[in-house]
Amino acid sequence: MSNAAVASDPVRVTLPDGSVREVPAGTTIREFAQSIGSGLAKAALAGKMDGRVVDLDRPIEQDTRVEILTEKSEDALELLRHSAAHILATAVRRVRPGAGIGFGPAIQDGFYYDFEVAEPFTPDEVERIEREMQAVIKADDPFERRVVDKAEARELFRDDPLKLERLEELGDEETISIYRNGSFLDLCRGPHLPSTNRLKHFKLLNTAGAYWRGDEMRQMLQRIYGTAFFSKDELEQHLHRLEEAKRRDHRRLGRELDLFQFHPVSPGSAFWTPRGTTLYNTLVDFVRERQREAFQEIKTPLLYTKVLWEQSGHRGKNRENMFLVLDAETGEHDMSLKPMNCPSHHLYYAASKHSYRELPLRYTTFDVLHRNELSGALSGLTRVRQFQQDDCHVYLREDQIAEEVRFLMDFIIDYYRTFGLDATVKFATRPEVRIGEDEMWDRAESALRAALEETGMPYELKPGDGAFYGPKDRFRCDRLPGACLAAGHDSARLRRSGAL
């Protein structure tokens, strides 16, 4: 153990099984794993202290709960992929020494890193970068963490303007940590694998353009995507799924089956062929027939003044995603094509008096919607600027929520079963940017969670992933085994009595 650890008073460490061990304060996670057994120390990738993943060299300074993470741990794959992103950046700097370094996180199925380069990466370069990654892995350089102050960080990253920009956003009280592996240095919170050699099975997948910080007014960076797994079999299975997904890519099938097409003069808006229109109308007829008895279909206008969007909160929260229309009388962009149906449905409902005996009222529509998505984010029919959806809004009493959630969940799941798809549910709670008082959010989240739990269906909690106007149950379905598609069904939104 370290000299500091030997001279320190003991601290109590609680393990996942509830057992307690005493070790000198300052003992690292690595040293603690070694004290349990050499086998565990060899397999250890990182630690978890009071639920937070940390590097193996992080010292234990006080009484805490500790878990040693190995390849079998739930958090291990994200750790592996984050370190893979750093290894990718290390290799890119060898191939393109002047490349600017952006962000490199782990994502659901892999990792990516953004680079500022004069020219996009060629396929030959990507292959060379992959070979360089193998060399970085073979070097077995440790991932070394160091805490620095802002002045030192500015000096270390003086030639990295993207990192300097991120650095200046950090508050004076925030801990600034840097990670080094070999010659590569990055501004990063971590944690990471013990060394580069722990990455064995990876593959670079593709490149794409990405605006810096997701802002279309900023420079375009080049993003390299990759994936990594702990076993060769897992990697090969994933790559096979990706090939199957490409083979069934709806963009290719739409073209080959003569169903739809796109044109650059109307980006993000599909042209449906006669064959595609027949298929589209058949699906709409199917949905209408299923909804005939329990729902009422309505149509509302496509264009509204800013009064509606200011009242609903959309103009303040989502103005950049709306298509604004110039009003010839005022000379201002006072109107907008509707990006969603919610406010117009609320207007329609509020236009008449209703008895509680009428509730629940379920209004559906197939109206056209427009959203000003970034051009780089457009992707076939899955990310568009013009679309239609089988949208529904339900008006009900608070004591009807549980029963209505059960009805809607069964109704929605049956859609997926019809097409041989499985669906999972995610409960999305209040985001940081939102409308409404906390008390109203407390009631809405509590009622929706209780109703969801009454169904007995398992769900995943997604903190902060709700809409700015309310919590949601989000359904996610599989397109192919291992390849997920977020489905457009939400079963609850915040209700504001007497207002939009």
Residue 453: pLDDT band (50, 70, 90) is confident
Q: How far apart are CA 365 and CA 391, in angstroms?
A: 5
Residue 442 has pLDDT above 60, yes or no: yes
The third-level CATH classification (topology) of the domain covering 260-296+342-490 is BirA Bifunctional Protein; domain 2 (3.30.930)
**To 5 degrees, how large is the angle CA 53–CA 143–CA 170?**
65
Taking the model in full, what pTM does it have?
0.73
pLDDT at res. 8: 64
One of 3.40.50.150, 3.40.50.970, 3.30.980.10, 2.60.40.10 is the CATH number of 76-247, namely: 3.30.980.10
Phi (first) and psi of residue 460, to 5 degrees: -110, 135
Q: How far apart are CA 354 and CA 490, in angstroms?
A: 24
Residue 495 has pLDDT above 60, yes or no: no
**Mean pLDDT (whole number) for 477-490:** 49
Phi (first) and psi of residue 397, to 5 degrees: -80, 155
Domains of the chain, residue spans: 3-69, 76-247, 260-296+342-490
> Who wins on pLDDT, 100 or 483?
100
pLDDT at res. 9: 80
Q: How far apart are CA 179 and CA 200, in angstroms?
A: 20
**Mean pLDDT (whole number) for 215-233:** 93
pLDDT at res. 215: 78
pLDDT-above-70 percentage for the chain: 94
Residue 329: pLDDT band (50, 70, 90) is confident
pLDDT at res. 125: 96
Phi (first) and psi of residue 240, to 5 degrees: -65, -40
Residue 307 has pLDDT above 60, yes or no: yes
Q: Are 493 and 436 in contact (CB under 8 A)?
A: no
Q: How far apart are CA 196 and CA 131, in angstroms?
A: 14
The third-level CATH classification (topology) of the domain covering 3-69 is Ubiquitin-like (UB roll) (3.10.20)
pLDDT at res. 475: 81
pLDDT at res. 476: 77
**What separation in angstroms does the CA of 289 have from each of 284, 292, 384, 392?**
9, 5, 27, 15
Q: How far apart are CA 240 and CA 226, in angstroms?
A: 14
Q: Mean pLDDT over all residues of the chain?
A: 89
